[in-house]
């Protein structure tokens, strides 16, 4: 078990808290369009403030490519945070420079300083030792609660953690518990719904789930590589030719695995992505030469629904079609609804499926909406996360020193 903030004494200590404040923002006005990530960090922030820690928050925002770029400043996030917490919030205009140091020096217990965007310094993504040391010099304890970046080995997620006593926050702790339960002891049947376009990202997940899940429903662009590997006619649909042989051997392997692999039986198609023609439906193995599959069809929606309805646990990652276009969003929206309404435990990986579920209005009905797309996929693949690996295991001494 990894050490959490409840296992260590944080009273009066300077805590460097790595959060995921990479919020969607209108970079012209600084208006935050979705505050979910800030809201989800509040439990850890408030706990530390109530314990009397000096809370030094650091995060990245966007892709400023290692140089200062004011449109990616965390200043608007710090202002927003001040509206949501009782503690005083101060913003430092740099990360490890003079402003950060003097503002940290002036802090009282229970106060917060938000540092400027970590990625304004190229050394962050390089996991540079010097930068890690400078970050470590700001605090007594390091806490990571940025689940969305735990799969990255950066200075603020990895390097600095090796230099200070460390722990994870409530958000990461919950994510780990939920995914570990899904992989080790789920309520059955365990149904995984996988979609999206990048087959190479999802293959390791399918592979890991073959002996863990009871059913794997495959939709989205990646389904066409599977259908082609099975000898189907897929027209101009997205196919990863290089992966065909791999997928063939994989389909073979799945015959002896626990999980049944279920592919779409019909598809909503068109001649290209933005054609003005009316979409046409084709059976999966017989898509017209000039057509490409852009969404799962009504028979597939019904078929997938029947599995999701019976699930004890349902895990969803990746859209069922080109859902950005309303003409091909039906499959994704219906799956969002069925996953949300499922009586079983529902888990939705981050990214497109999470935003589809929120957009469809069913977000609140999902038992666990993961805050990290890449990180949750890595865990579902059976990989560990560098940002979690580096955190110490909970030890007897932790409990003793906390009770002193």
From 264, 279, 321, 387, residue interacting with ligand AMP (rule: CB under 6 A): 321
Considering beta carbons, is residue 114 or 294 the nearer one to ligand AMP? 294
Query: What crossing angle do the helices spanning 170-184 and 373-380 adopt, rounded to 10°?
Result: 30
Considering beta carbons, is residue 5 or 269 the nearer one to ligand AMP? 269
Contact between residue 344 and residue 313 where contact means Cβ atoms under 8 Å apart:
yes
Q: Is 37 a catalytic residue?
A: yes
Q: Considering the rule CB under 6 A, would residue 198 count as an interface residue with ligand AMP?
A: yes
Q: Considering the rule CB under 6 A, would residue 322 count as an interface residue with ligand AMP?
A: yes
Q: Is 399 a catalytic residue?
A: no
Sign of the alpha-carbon dihedral angle for 154, 160, 163, 165: negative
Contact between residue 188 and residue 25 where contact means Cβ atoms under 8 Å apart:
no
Q: Which of residues 211-250 bind ligand AMP (CB under 6 A)?
A: 220-221, 238
Nearest distance in Å: CB 148, ligand AMP: 15
Q: How many CB atoms lie within 10 A of CB 91?
A: 22
Q: Considering the rule CB under 6 A, would residue 294 count as an interface residue with ligand AMP?
A: yes
Considering beta carbons, is residue 224 or 338 the nearer one to ligand AMP? 224
Nearest distance in Å: CB 372, ligand AMP: 14
d(C-alpha 161, C-alpha 69), whole Å: 26
Q: Considering the rule CB under 6 A, would residue 76 count as an interface residue with ligand AMP?
A: no
Considering beta carbons, is residue 76 or 321 the nearer one to ligand AMP? 321
Nearest distance in Å: CB 300, ligand AMP: 12
d(C-alpha 58, C-alpha 64), whole Å: 15
Nearest-CA neighbor of 118 among 79, 77, 179, 87? 77
Considering beta carbons, is residue 64 or 321 the nearer one to ligand AMP? 321
d(C-alpha 45, C-alpha 32), whole Å: 19
Q: Which of residues 112-171 bind ligand AMP (CB under 6 A)?
A: none
2, 3, 18, 37: which is the annotated catalytic residue? Answer: 37
198, 200, 253, 280: which is the annotated catalytic residue? Answer: 198
Considering beta carbons, is residue 76 or 196 the nearer one to ligand AMP? 196
Q: Considering the rule CB under 6 A, would residue 196 count as an interface residue with ligand AMP?
A: yes
Q: Is 198 a catalytic residue?
A: yes
Nearest distance in Å: CB 318, ligand AMP: 4
**Part in contact with ligand AMP (CB under 6 A); list of ranges 67-75, 193-201, 240-248, 335-343:** 193-201
**Part in contact with ligand AMP (CB under 6 A); list of ranges 19-27, 67-75, 90-98, 320-328:** 320-328
148, 293, 331, 351: which is the annotated catalytic residue? Answer: 351
DSSP string, 125-159: TTT-HHHHHHHHTT-SEEEE--GGGTTS--IIIII
Nearest distance in Å: CB 338, ligand AMP: 18
Q: 305-327 in b/e burial notation, b at 16+ Cβ within 10 A? A: bebbebbebbbbbbbbbbbeeeb
Q: Give the sheet arrangement for strand 190-194, strand by strand.
A: 260-262, 215-218, 190-194, 313-317, 345-348, 368-369
Number of residues in contact with ligand AMP under rule CB under 6 A: 15
From 7, 80, 175, 352, residue interacting with ligand AMP (rule: CB under 6 A): 352
d(C-alpha 404, C-alpha 397), whole Å: 11
Q: Where are the alpha helices (DSSP H) in 19-105?
A: 36-50, 75-84, 98-105
Phi, psi (rounded to 5 degrees) for 288 = -55, 145
Contact between residue 354 and residue 164 where contact means Cβ atoms under 8 Å apart:
no
Q: Considering the rule CB under 6 A, would residue 197 count as an interface residue with ligand AMP?
A: yes
**Part in contact with ligand AMP (CB under 6 A); list of ranges 105-113, 155-163, 255-263, 318-326:** 318-326
d(C-alpha 87, C-alpha 42), whole Å: 12
Q: Is 202 a catalytic residue?
A: no
Contact between residue 138 and residue 99 where contact means Cβ atoms under 8 Å apart:
no
Which residues are at the interface with ligand AMP (CB under 6 A)?
196-198, 201, 220-221, 238, 293-294, 318-319, 321-322, 324, 352
Residues with a catalytic annotation lie at: 37, 198, 351, 374
């Amino acid at each position: 078990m990894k050490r959490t903030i409840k296992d260590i004494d944080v009273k009066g200590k300077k805590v460097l808290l790595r959060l995921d404040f990479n919020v969607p923002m209108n970079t012209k006005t600084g208006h935050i369009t979705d505050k979910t990530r800030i809201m989800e960090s509040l439990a850890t922030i408030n706990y530390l403030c109530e314990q009397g820690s000096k809370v030094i928050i650091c995060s990245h925002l966007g892709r400023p490519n290692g140089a200062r770029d004011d449109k990616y400043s965390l200043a608007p996030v710090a202002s927003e945070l001040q509206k949501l917490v009782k503690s005083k919030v101060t913003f430092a205009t740099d990360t490890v420079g003079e402003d950060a140091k003097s503002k940290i020096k002036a802090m009282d217990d229970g106060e917060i300083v938000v540092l400027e965007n970590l990625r304004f310094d190229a050394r962050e993504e390089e996991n540079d030792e010097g930068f890690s040391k400078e970050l470590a010099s700001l605090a007594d304890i390091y806490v990571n609660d940025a689940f969305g970046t735990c799969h990255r080995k950066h200075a603020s997620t990895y390097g600095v953690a090796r230099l200070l006593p460390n722990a994870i926050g409530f958000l990461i702790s919950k994510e780990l518990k939920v995914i570990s339960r899904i992989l080790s002891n789920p309520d059955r049947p365990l149904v995984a719904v996988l979609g999206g376009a990048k087959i190479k990202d999802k293959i390791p997940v399918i592979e890991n789930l073959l002996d863990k899940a009871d059913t794997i429903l495959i939709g989205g662009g990646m389904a066409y590589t599977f259908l082609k590997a099975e000898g189907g006619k897929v027209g101009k649909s997205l196919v990863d030719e290089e992966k065909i042989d791999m997928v063939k051997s994989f389909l073979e392997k799945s015959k002896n695995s626990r999980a049944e692999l279920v592919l779409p039986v019909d598809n909503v198609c068109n001649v290209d992505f933005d054609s003005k023609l009316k979409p046409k439906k084709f059976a999966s193995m017989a898509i017209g030469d000039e057509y490409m599959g852009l969404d799962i069809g009504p028979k597939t929606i019904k078929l997938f629904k029947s599995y999701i309805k019976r699930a004890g646990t349902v895990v969803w990652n990746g859209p069922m079609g080109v859902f950005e276009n309303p003409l091909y969003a039906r499959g994704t929206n219906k799956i969002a609804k069925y996953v949300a309404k499922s009586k079983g435990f529902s888990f939705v990986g981050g990214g497109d499926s999470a935003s589809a579920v929120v957009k469809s209005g069913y977000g609140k009905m999902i038992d666990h909406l993961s805050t990290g797309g890449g990180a949750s996929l890595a865990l579902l693949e059976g990989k560990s996360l560098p940002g979690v690996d580096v955190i110490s295991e909970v030890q007897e001494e932790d409990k003793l020193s906390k009770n002193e």
